[in-house]
Amino acid sequence: MQTPWGQSQTAEKLANGIIGYSTSSHGGIWLSPERTAQLPQGIDNFLHDLRWWEEDCDWAVPYIVFQADIKAYGKAYNFEENLAAAYATVQCLHPELVPAT
């Protein structure tokens, strides 16, 4: 699979329509058109392409938005730890997604 970061070396299905890809130097999460349509209105990412969410910062958005499906699919490595990291990442880089308290 060709990704924005080059040819993928690995692919990990996190849930239907949600796949984590890695290349020799980078990676991220890919969303199907159906998943992309389910994202919150007005959200954007570094690539300005809602299909691709890079692994440094943007991955946290689909991980949180689709956390129930990712957890139910049951294949995500260290799901709870990754979810905590996703919330910390979103608080810094996508604060518009953090509910007001």
Backbone angles phi, psi at 32, to 5 degrees: -70, 165
- pLDDT at position 72, please? 96
pLDDT in tens, the chain (101 residues): 999 999 999 999 999 999 999 999 999 999 999 999 999 888 899 999 999 999 998 999 999 999 999 999 998 889 999 999 999 999 988 887 776 55
DSSP state of 99: P
Torsion sign over Cα 51, 54, 96, 87: positive
| Tens digit of each residue's pLDDT (9 = 90 or more) over 30-55 | 999 999 999 988 889 999 999 999 99
pTM of the model: 0.91
